[in-house]
Chains A and B, each alone.
Chain A
Amino acid sequence: MEYLINLGILFCIYAMLALSLNMVVGLSGLVSLAHAAFYGIGAYAVAILMTMHGFGFWSSMLAGVVLNGITAFAVGKILSKFKGDYYAIVSAGLSVIVFSVLLNFKSLTKGPLGIYGIGKPSVAGFHFSSSLSFLALAFVFVVLFYALFVLIDKSSFGRALKGLREDEVLTVSLGYKTTKYKSLIFTLSAMMAGVAGSFFASYIAFIDPTSFQLAEGIFFFTMITVGGLSSAFGSVVGAALLLILPEALRFLGLPYETAAQLQQLIYGALLVMMMAFRPQGLFGKFKV
């Protein structure tokens, strides 16, 4: 049971990330590779403030969210100048830059040695030290983010986003200030990714920069592509599927000499098959 609960916690964290990324990529059509950076900032905010300055979980998370918001707002302004491939490269650049800072700014982040002993949150005296309670707390946030996504999707804000995704020129000519909308959704999404990062740091209690590299961003992409772009349900399903798949492969009883590589092979094959059978993702409503 403990094993499933732990998987459940990871699911919640990845679901939060998938929902946040899908808002930017699915709803708005912005191919951002920057989310690993925001995830990392959220995690390190909690790690540094809790272990080195005695802050509590919620205030640390808030600090991380605010930092992400400011960063996203600033970066968003630069990003809005770019389209397509360039948007992707510049956003990837943010991931690389943040990773570099986390890795090398040793006086702040302890570099590759990582930060350990990160505590768990408390609310009104109740300490979320058991994994089951932590899971429940994380799940509450998943529900919140899911609701937020659906709310935006169905609102006029969401319609404007989808408009600028489909045809930005037209949307601008209709009077919508698309740069403001892009900036808003990017900032919001970054803050959500920060929350996921904070939960991750608290859950695993021991973080290092290697969890926040560009490759992680590609994994987030895979989640929402498999699950379905522009769909809240798709985000959540994608997260669950890509978490469960490698776990299920363990139980196939492959020979120990080659098990790890065969598992990779099967995982890769399943990805290809999924794309071949359902190119729009399991519950996708939109193609980039």
Chain B
Amino acid sequence: MLKKLILSLCFILALSACKEENKTQAQAKPVIKIGANLHLTGQLAHTGAGAKNALQMAFEKWQKKDTKYRYELIFEDDMMKTQQAAVNTQKLINIDGVRAVLSLFGIVDRVIDDIANQNKVISVSCSYGKSEVPEYGVNTGAQNEEIYGAVVRQLKKENVKTVVLEGSQSAVSFAILDYFAAHLPQDGIKVLANEKHNLDVRDFRTSIQKTEVLKPDYYLIFGVEPMNSIFTKQYREITGKNNLASLGNFPEIADSLWPNLEGLWSASLIGGTSEFSQQYETRFHDRVHGCSANLYDALNMLMMAFENAPVKEGKDIPENIDVVQYMRHIGTYNGAFGMIEMGINGIGHPSVDIVKLQNGKWVKIGE
């Protein structure tokens, strides 16, 4: 019985793999498929879930409109692993025949970018601190310059002279914190330590006590959740102090943990206009996560590009390269995130605000 089950699984797989790329049949509208390769399981599953929900929400809005083409959205789970991301992208491109792949961050987005680019398929990511994309790529994640700019303004306001950086051993943490470590001295702020914790660490006590000896003015953290929550909690338990700020993701943390964050400020990479946040929260009973609003806007920009990009003679849908170029020339995009400044090199610059938790609400401070 088991052998039959296994054989039938192999059979299903073989059948599906033998499907050729979908040729548009004699239908009223050509079909354009879009793939989304997200972290749906693993440590960052909540971010993946947020992105998935936001994409679905955006997609459903488009389905109600009268569009030139018919669209399909296909989700895959990259499990935050490079080989899974690679296999997923191959499947999306070669079996489903997608014209674009949406992805998140880590290393996986670069693997996806590569494979998509080789196949002349559009690759749109929400990756923090990624400053270049290949020919067919677009990035909508927050950039180091904006994060740094916002944070340093706030630090100067509070007259901070020495800082300890805390992060996780992940690509995004490194990209952002190393940028800070390189630039803070140029702005007259000394970096006393740059601690990187392994992803499974839940006890930061010794590390905190070690860095406290250096008497820093401020702690800046950007780690993979739950590092941020637990570190902050333990920091406040041990020192009772308030001089800790996040470089990006406090607002993403669950409500039950907000009492620990009262009075602290954070750069907000999450964005999200109140209208978008409300729609999202009402429908999914959950807070907006990092990259939710960015990918919501990314899908909107992508579909807008498909609808509006020039179609060459004799073709029925625009070439992918023209769609990418359209996206890159959008300029300032005001959407669910707020404001994203699209660059013609494919790198978007979402605006970054500083927010502070006051009486259970995240309030924008500083300008």
Interface residues of A (CB under 8 A from B): 1-4, 6-7, 10, 103-104, 111-114, 116, 200, 204-208, 210-211, 241, 244-245, 247-248, 250-251, 256-257, 259-261, 263-264, 270, 273-274, 277-278
Contacts and interface: CB of A to CB of B under 8 A. Distances in A.
Contacts of A112: 107, 169-171, 173-174
Contacts of B83: 10, 200, 204, 211
The 9 closest A-B pairs by CB, nearest first: A260-B40, A260-B77, A248-B9, A2-B94, A3-B94, A208-B107, A248-B13, A6-B90, A112-B171
A246 B52 CA distance: 20
A111 B80 CA distance: 16
A114 B87 CA distance: 19
A211 B81 CA distance: 7
A206 B13 contact: no
B354 interface: no
A198 B26 CA distance: 47
Contact of A113 (B16, B40, B111, B174): B174
B80 A210 contact: yes
Nearest to B113: A206
Contacts of A114: 107, 110, 171
B87 A247 contact: yes
Contacts of B175: 113
B56 to A, nearest CB: 7
A216 to B, nearest CB: 9
A3 B174 contact: no
Contacts, number: 99
B125 to A, nearest CB: 14
A234 to B, nearest CB: 14
A70 to B, nearest CB: 27
A204 B81 CA distance: 11
Secondary structure at the A interface, as helix, strand, loop or mixed, is: helix
A250 B80 contact: no
Contacts of A210: 80-82, 107
Given A1-B94, A205-B114, A113 B13 contact: no
Contact of A204 (B17, B80, B111): B111
Contact of B169 (A4, A111, A200, A256): A111
Contacts of B5: 270
16 contacts: A2-B93, A6-B87, A7-B87, A103-B198, A104-B169, A112-B170, A113-B107, A114-B110, A204-B83, A207-B82, A208-B107, A241-B6, A247-B87, A256-B52, A261-B41, A270-B5
A6 B93 CA distance: 12
A111 B17 contact: no
A3 B13 CA distance: 11
A263 B77 contact: yes
Nearest to B2: A277
B104 interface: no
B174 A111 contact: yes
Contact of B90 (A3, A104, A251, A263): A3
Contacts of B170: 112
B17 A1 contact: yes
A251 B92 CA distance: 12
Nearest to A206: B111
Interface in B1-55: 1-2, 5-6, 9-10, 12-13, 16-17, 40-41, 52
Interface residues of B, number: 40
Given A6-B90, A211-B82, A278-B2, A259 B75 contact: yes
B7 to A, nearest CB: 11
Most chain B Cβ neighbours within 10 Å, of A4, A103, A112, A200: A112
B324 interface: no
Contact of B12 (A7, A248, A277): A248
A113 B94 contact: no
Contacts of B6: 241
A264 B47 CA distance: 18
B17 A10 contact: no
Most chain A Cβ neighbours within 10 Å, of B1, B94, B173: B94
A281 B112 CA distance: 35
Given A3-B94, A250-B91, 9 more contacts: A1-B17, A10-B87, A111-B169, A114-B171, A200-B83, A211-B82, A211-B83, A244-B10, A260-B41
Contacts of A259: 40, 75, 77
A208 B82 contact: yes
A114 B9 CA distance: 35
B13 A251 contact: yes
B86 interface: yes
Most chain B Cβ neighbours within 10 Å, of A7, A104, A200, A251: A251
A7 B75 CA distance: 19
A3 B169 contact: no
B145 interface: no
A6 B91 CA distance: 9
A161 B77 CA distance: 42
Contacts of B307: none
Nearest to B13: A248
Contacts of B198: 103
